[in-house]
A and B are shown apart, each in its own frame.
Chain A
Amino acid sequence: MVERKDVTKGNVDEGNGAVISARGLGKEFNGIWALKGVDLSLERGETLGVIGPNGAGKTTLIRVLTGQISPSSGEIHCEGKVVDPARLGFRMRIGLVPQEASFYGRLTARENLALLARLYGLAGEEAAARTDELLQWSGLLEHSRRQVRFFSRGMQQRLSLAMGLVHRPEIVFLDEPTSGLDPEARSAVWELILRLQEEGRTVFMTTHNMEEADHICTRLAILVKGEIREQGTPQRIKSLLGTDRVELRLSEERQGELEELCSSLGIYWKKEGEAYVLTGVDLPEKLPAIISRLAVGLRDMHYREVTLEDAFLRFMREVEG
Chain B
Amino acid sequence: MRGWRSLLAKDWKMVVRNRILLGVLIIYPFLIMGVIGAAFQETGRPVPVGLVNLDEAREAGSLWICGESGSPAGWRRTLQRRAEDFVAYASGEEALAAFERGEVDALLLVAESSGGEEWCGARIANDRLEAMVGDLEDGWRGLRYYATAGEAESSLRDGECDAALGLLGKAYPYLAETIWLEGENYDAARLLRDFSRDVMEISDYASEKEALADLRSGRLDAVIVIPPGFISRLKTLEEVAGVKVVIDQSNLVKAEFAETGIRGFLSRVSERVVEEKMRAVVAGLYVLVTGGDFFGTQVVGLQEIGDNLRSIRDAVADRPELAGLVEQGIELAETVVADIEDAAAYLRGTALPVDLEVTSVAGRSLAAKDAVVPSLVALSMLWTGVLCGAILMVLEDEEGMRVRLRLTRMGPFALVGSKLLLAGAIVFLQSVVMLFLAVAAFGAFASSMHLALLTTALTALSCIGIGLVLAAFARQVAGAVILSVLVTFPLIFMTGAVFPLSQMPHFMRVIAHAIPLTYALEALSGVMLRGESLADVAWRLAVLLGFGVALLGLGSALVRRKSR
Chains A and B belong together in one complex: yes
Q: A residues bordering B, Cβ < 8 Å?
A: 66-70, 88, 91-92, 94-96, 98, 100-105, 116, 119-121, 163-164, 167
Q: Is the CB of A68 within 8 A of B403?
A: yes
19 pairs of residues in contact across A and B, judged by CB atoms under 8 Å: A68-B403, A70-B564, A92-B409, A94-B407, A100-B400, A101-B399, A101-B400, A102-B400, A102-B401, A102-B404, A103-B399, A103-B400, A104-B399, A104-B401, A105-B399, A116-B404, A119-B408, A120-B408, A121-B409
Q: Is the CB of A96 within 8 A of B399?
A: no
Identify the closest chain B residue to A173 (Cβ). B407
Q: Which of A102, A105, A120, A163 has the most CB of B within 10 A?
A: A102
- What chain A residues lie within 8 Å of B407 (beta carbons)? 66-67, 91, 94-96
Nearest CB of B to A24, in Å = 21
Q: Is the CB of A98 within 8 A of B404?
A: yes
Q: B residues bordering A, Cβ < 8 Å?
A: 399-401, 403-410, 563-564
Q: Is the CB of A96 within 8 A of B409?
A: no
Q: How far is the CA of A301 from the CA of B409 in the complex (A)?
A: 60
6 further interface pairs, Cβ-Cβ under 8 Å (given A101-B400, A102-B403, A104-B401): A91-B408, A96-B407, A102-B404, A103-B399, A119-B405, A163-B404
Nearest CB of A to B396, in Å = 9
Nearest CB of B to A67, in Å = 8
- What chain B residues lie within 8 Å of A164 (beta carbons)? 404
Q: How far is the CA of A290 from the CA of B408 in the complex (A)?
A: 60
Q: Is the CB of B399 within 8 A of A119?
A: no
- What chain B residues lie within 8 Å of A121 (beta carbons)? 409
Closest 7 CB pairs of A and B: A102-B400, A119-B408, A121-B409, A100-B400, A91-B407, A119-B410, A98-B403
Q: How far is the CA of A70 from the CA of B410 in the complex (A)?
A: 20
Given contacts A68-B564, A69-B564, contact A119 B409 (CB under 8 A): yes
Q: How far is the CA of A85 from the CA of B401 in the complex (A)?
A: 19
Nearest CB of A to B405, in Å = 7
Nearest CB of B to A200, in Å = 21
- What chain B residues lie within 8 Å of A67 (beta carbons)? 407
Q: Which of B400, B404, B405, B409 has the most CB of A within 10 A?
A: B404
Q: Is the CB of B409 within 8 A of A102?
A: no
Looking at the complex, which one of A70, A88, A96 makes contact with B404 (CB distance below 8 Å)?
A96
- What chain A residues lie within 8 Å of B409 (beta carbons)? 88, 92, 119-121
Nearest CB of A to B416, in Å = 15
Nearest CB of A to B284, in Å = 90
Nearest CB of B to A218, in Å = 25
Q: How far is the CA of A13 from the CA of B346 in the complex (A)?
A: 112
Q: How far is the CA of A70 from the CA of B406 in the complex (A)?
A: 14
Identify the closest chain B residue to A90 (Cβ). B407
Q: How far is the CA of A126 from the CA of B335 in the complex (A)?
A: 113
Identify the closest chain B residue to A100 (Cβ). B400
- What chain B residues lie within 8 Å of A88 (beta carbons)? 409
Q: Is the CB of B564 within 8 A of A103?
A: no
Nearest CB of B to A103, in Å = 7
Q: How far is the CA of A100 from the CA of B397 in the complex (A)?
A: 11
- What chain A residues lie within 8 Å of B406 (beta carbons)? 68
Identify the closest chain A residue to B396 (Cβ). A104
- What chain B residues lie within 8 Å of A68 (beta carbons)? 403, 406, 563-564
Nearest CB of B to A240, in Å = 34
Nearest CB of A to B510, in Å = 36
- What chain A residues lie within 8 Å of B404 (beta carbons)? 96, 98, 102, 116, 163-164
Q: How far is the CA of A66 from the CA of B404 in the complex (A)?
A: 10
Q: How far is the CA of A120 from the CA of B405 in the complex (A)?
A: 9
Identify the closest chain A residue to B406 (Cβ). A68
Q: How far is the CA of A69 from the CA of B403 in the complex (A)?
A: 11
Q: How far is the CA of A70 from the CA of B399 in the complex (A)?
A: 23
- What chain B residues lie within 8 Å of A104 (beta carbons)? 399, 401
- What chain A residues lie within 8 Å of B399 (beta carbons)? 101-105
Q: How far is the CA of A121 from the CA of B408 in the complex (A)?
A: 8
Q: How far is the CA of A94 from the CA of B403 in the complex (A)?
A: 13
- What chain B residues lie within 8 Å of A94 (beta carbons)? 407
Q: How far is the CA of A114 from the CA of B400 in the complex (A)?
A: 17
Q: How far is the CA of A92 from the CA of B407 in the complex (A)?
A: 7
- What chain A residues lie within 8 Å of B401 (beta carbons)? 102-104
- What chain A residues lie within 8 Å of B408 (beta carbons)? 91, 116, 119-120, 167
Nearest CB of B to A159, in Å = 12
Q: Is the CB of A96 within 8 A of B403?
A: yes
- What chain A residues lie within 8 Å of B400 (beta carbons)? 98, 100-103
- What chain A residues lie within 8 Å of B405 (beta carbons)? 119
Q: How far is the CA of A191 from the CA of B123 in the complex (A)?
A: 110
Identify the closest chain B residue to A97 (Cβ). B404
Q: How far is the CA of A24 from the CA of B231 in the complex (A)?
A: 92
Q: How far is the CA of A104 from the CA of B407 in the complex (A)?
A: 16
Identify the closest chain A residue to B563 (Cβ). A68
Q: How far is the CA of A73 from the CA of B409 in the complex (A)?
A: 27
Identify the closest chain B residue to A88 (Cβ). B409
Q: How far is the CA of A105 from the CA of B398 in the complex (A)?
A: 10
Q: How far is the CA of A103 from the CA of B399 in the complex (A)?
A: 6
Identify the closest chain A residue to B398 (Cβ). A105
Identify the closest chain A residue to B410 (Cβ). A119
Q: How far is the CA of A104 from the CA of B404 in the complex (A)?
A: 11
Q: How far is the CA of A120 from the CA of B409 in the complex (A)?
A: 5
